[in-house]
Amino acid sequence: MTGLTADVVVVGAGLIGLATAWRLAADGIQVTVCDPTPGTQTSTVAAGMLAPVTEVEYGEDDLLALNLASVAAWPSFAAELQDAAGVPAGLHQTGTLAVAYDVDDAAALRRLADYQRRLGLEVEELSGRESRQREPMLAQGVSGGVWVPGDHSVDNRQAVTALLRAVEVSGVTLIRERVARVITSGTTAVGVQLENGDSIHAGQVIGAAGPWSGQLDGVPQELRPPVRPVKGEVLRLRVPEAYRPALTHTVRATARGFSVYLVPRPGGELVVGATSTELGYDTRVLAGGVFALLRDARTVLPITDELELVEAIAGLRPATPDNAPVLGPSGLDGLLWATGHYRNGVLLTPITAQIIAETVRTGVLPELGKPFLAGRFTAR
Amino acid sequence: MTGLTADVVVVGAGLIGLATAWRLAADGIQVTVCDPTPGTQTSTVAAGMLAPVTEVEYGEDDLLALNLASVAAWPSFAAELQDAAGVPAGLHQTGTLAVAYDVDDAAALRRLADYQRRLGLEVEELSGRESRQREPMLAQGVSGGVWVPGDHSVDNRQAVTALLRAVEVSGVTLIRERVARVITSGTTAVGVQLENGDSIHAGQVIGAAGPWSGQLDGVPQELRPPVRPVKGEVLRLRVPEAYRPALTHTVRATARGFSVYLVPRPGGELVVGATSTELGYDTRVLAGGVFALLRDARTVLPITDELELVEAIAGLRPATPDNAPVLGPSGLDGLLWATGHYRNGVLLTPITAQIIAETVRTGVLPELGKPFLAGRFTAR
């Protein structure tokens, strides 16, 4: 098995790595993806919100532009993926309702709506009553809302399944092994060595290992991206037939200062997320995390108490110092990054795959990707 | 396979059925136990408190006497079981600390302590500070406690495992099939028919099917015990090494009017229970149940937030109109009940097995069992 070759080898088979591999294969490029457990980590835990508007943060304009481009790219990406895979890609274009509970929550939501309008984003402020007209099961205590018609959601587990099928049918080689190190020749990456000792030689290596991307041996220390794991706990609830649909849109709530989101899926699943904890590579589900999610969910959606708790799971977001991803040239020839997507991995899957595929094809990082070069962290 | 025989056939392989079968086999009696899934229902979900004193209810004097007899029987029962099975029976004689959180909780606990003393039970009232001296991780807000040296706990999963081994080595036949009906001849039960069509003829049938005991076809409707399922949700948490032991005694708390108990196990498990819901034969774990348990546990034991949530599970208690079990002659010759143990199944396992075995041997229900005849429900 030793001495395999490929045009491109992708390290990591989460949504980002798989989508990039699929896009490259569509261009006729021979791609190998390596991951000990494809599609089982962060990509499977996520709730799948596509919320560039609802979750906009003050001063992150470049990231907002990237996020908006990606939410715009999702419908055609999903349609093509569905065609290629023969199974649903999981996109649900339902819009998102941001709601506030108490007076302080409402004030914060109004300030955010002002900012969203100044940015030219499409938002509509609602009273508590108007919010409940859109989502009748919301608590009486919900005091106001903002309707965001362009923020949607993706069933990320369906997307993972579809991408695994799509890469298979498009001729991508998937190797279920961990990459031990990147192989270099001088200042150029020329492939990877697997934990089983095999090596794969490739003209291009793509680092898409999410929170593990900073640990790739063979990459000089100073060129490794400053990606750290931020744990998020997520619950999956089941709405009994009698109460369906408990929600018809994604609900993003601020309840007594705490943030929670509730993402309904067709079929009765309701995903509740997410905590945020910096505890290293620890994916234990803690009682305090589950408590906080349930407390906030039931504050805004009292019927939560009557829903079955089907799953409590934790994943690791790949966070960076400025909350934005790391895309494109790494400083080591032959190695591109597609990592550091933090809270926006599902959202940024189509645009990341497109940017990286174009970079491989043309040798030039597209304009949209330029603010996200790894070099920005060492430059300052 | 059709046409099996036994001296005694036991319907149900929970703790009660298994312990009774084991006791009978020790007397040289040939026993067959039938259960589609031995030891997997309520007996596995329970937290395993042995709390006749801590959980005494006003006016349940006969039940208290039975409970006290059984907690006294546990040590020798456990020792014999351990000998027979070669694995631990799970008894932990650690004592129990009942604690109160706010002023109302403290007042209720004091009233209960007065009642316990009037009954001659051994209890010691403690201040909040004294309670924290015994359990240093209790919340500062714990305002008082009652130390109950005679209330203990059993790792019910270990007890189930031990009993399954013990019945095997003592020659009991375990058939993994559901009993479809009791076979009668005139007004006498003479065996059971299994769902697979096989029948087992036996001189004595023992109904130990917990919450399903009222559904035994073949038993005349008016003789079926009024047992109903009361769902209880239980959490299993894991204490990380750094925080062990989070607790060293069983803690029974009243927190802002809500009851919760926390049962520590050697090895870092902490069992938190239990909700109480009347929803029929429904074992879904509801979000509201998990929320309530976490809310109350973290109120009295703040470190709860930092513990891993390993399992959330629900079981069905076999409840009766007066909260006491149904023991002994059923009104149908040849059929004895050993069911309806509600919240006290683990506690009452030794005394129930002893009472039923003696009844089979002598034909006479011992004095201690007489208040618990099924006939008490039809008589009034």
Mark yes or no for CB contact A304/B287 under 8 Å. Answer: yes
Contacts of B286 in chain A (CB under 8 A): 305-309
Closest CA to B40 of B126, B152, B124, B164: B164
Band the pLDDT of B3: cuts 50, 70, 90: confident
Contacts of B242 in chain A (CB under 8 A): none
Whether omega for the bond prior to residue A264 falls within 30 degrees of 0, making it cis, is no
- pLDDT tens profile B10-29: 999 999 999 999 999 999 99
Tokens standing for residue B332: 């149908």
Q: What is the mean pLDDT of chain A?
A: 96
Kind of pairing, strands B326-329 and A188-194? unpaired
Are the C-beta atoms of residues A175 and A32 closer than 8 Å to each other? yes
- pLDDT tens profile B246-273: 999 999 999 999 999 999 999 999 999 9
Closest CA to A49 of A348, A351, A297, A308: A348
Q: Where are the domains of chain B?
A: 4-48+158-226+321-379, 96-149+229-319
Band the pLDDT of A3: cuts 50, 70, 90: confident
State the pTM of this model.
0.95
Q: Is the pLDDT of residue A129 over 80?
A: yes
Minimum Cα–Cα distance from A289: chain B residue? B305
Q: What pLDDT, on the 0 to 100 scale, is given for residue B1?
A: 44
Interface of A with B in 310-339 (CB under 8 A): 312
Backbone φ and ψ of B289, nearest 5° = -70, -45
Q: What pLDDT, on the 0 to 100 scale, is given for residue B379?
A: 60
Q: How far apart are CA B313 and CA A292, in angstroms?
A: 19
Mark yes or no for CB contact A298/B287 under 8 Å. Answer: yes
Q: How far is CA B237 from CA A45, A101, A313, B149, B273, in A?
A: 21, 31, 14, 25, 11
Q: What pLDDT, on the 0 to 100 scale, is given for residue B161?
A: 98
Mark yes or no for CB contact A307/B287 under 8 Å. Answer: yes
Q: What pLDDT, on the 0 to 100 scale, is given for residue B126?
A: 97
Minimum Cα–Cα distance from A297: chain B residue? B287
Mark yes or no for CB contact B237/A287 under 8 Å. Answer: yes
Q: What is the mean pLDDT of residues A10-34?
A: 97
> Please, which contacts does B110-117 make with residues 24 or more away whose CB atoms are closer than 8 Å?
B110/B144, B112/B56, B112/B146, B113/B146, B115/B56, B115/B58, B116/B53, B116/B56, B116/B146, B116/B148
Q: Does A243 touch chain B (CB under 8 A)?
A: no
Q: What pLDDT, on the 0 to 100 scale, is given for residue B251?
A: 98
Closest CA to B248 of B263, B259, B258, B235: B263
Minimum Cα–Cα distance from B296: chain A residue? A291
Minimum Cα–Cα distance from B298: chain A residue? A288
Choose from B303, B308, B310 for mutation: most chain A CBs within 10 A. B308
Closest CA to A283 of A313, A326, A245: A313
| d(CA B277, nearest CA chain A) in Å | 11
Q: Does A284 touch chain B (CB under 8 A)?
A: yes
Backbone φ and ψ of A331, nearest 5° = 100, -20
Q: What pLDDT, on the 0 to 100 scale, is given for residue A304?
A: 98
Position A187, amino acid: T
Q: What is the mean pLDDT of residues B280-302?
A: 98
- pLDDT tens profile A47-100: 999 999 999 998 899 999 999 999 999 999 999 999 999 999 999 999 999 999
Q: Does B137 touch chain A (CB under 8 A)?
A: no
Q: How far apart are CA A148 and CA A376, in angstroms?
A: 32
- pLDDT tens profile A321-331: 999 999 999 99
Are the C-beta atoms of residues A111 and A103 closer than 8 Å to each other? no
Minimum Cα–Cα distance from B236: chain A residue? A287
Residues present in chain A in total: 380
Backbone φ and ψ of A249, nearest 5° = -125, 160
Tokens standing for residue A154: 């993706």
Band the pLDDT of A1: cuts 50, 70, 90: very low
- pLDDT tens profile A303-314: 999 999 999 999
Complex ipTM: 0.94
Mark yes or no for CB contact A306/B297 under 8 Å. Answer: no
Mark yes or no for CB contact A309/B237 under 8 Å. Answer: no
Q: What is the mean pLDDT of residues A249-262?
A: 97
Contacts of A288 in chain B (CB under 8 A): 298, 304-306
Contacts of A291 in chain B (CB under 8 A): 291, 294-295, 298, 305
Tokens standing for residue A90: 């999981």
Q: How far is CA A348 from CA A341, B37, B206, in A?
A: 7, 47, 63
Pick among 3.30.9.10, 3.60.150.10, 3.30.70.141, 3.40.640.10: CATH of A96-149+229-319 = 3.30.9.10
- pLDDT tens profile A265-280: 999 999 999 999 998 9
Q: What is the mean pLDDT of residues A147-176?
A: 97
Q: What is the mean pLDDT of residues B184-205?
A: 96
Q: What pLDDT, on the 0 to 100 scale, is given for residue A2?
A: 56
Topology adopted by domain A4-48+158-226+321-379: FAD/NAD(P)-binding domain (3.50.50)
Q: How far apart are CA A256 and CA B296, in angstroms?
A: 20
Q: What is the mean pLDDT of residues B327-339?
A: 97
Please tell me whether residue B152 adopts helix, strand or coil conformation.
Answer: strand
Q: How far apart are CA A124 and CA A276, in angstroms?
A: 28
| d(CA B285, nearest CA chain A) in Å | 5
Q: What contacts A157, CB < 8 A, 6 or more positions away?
A: A44, A90
| d(CA B302, nearest CA chain A) in Å | 9
Please tell me whether residue B148 adopts helix, strand or coil conformation.
Answer: strand
- pLDDT tens profile B129-172: 999 999 999 999 999 999 999 999 999 999 999 999 999 999 99
Q: What pLDDT, on the 0 to 100 scale, is given for residue B378?
A: 84
Contacts of A307 in chain B (CB under 8 A): 286-287
Q: Does B239 touch chain A (CB under 8 A)?
A: no
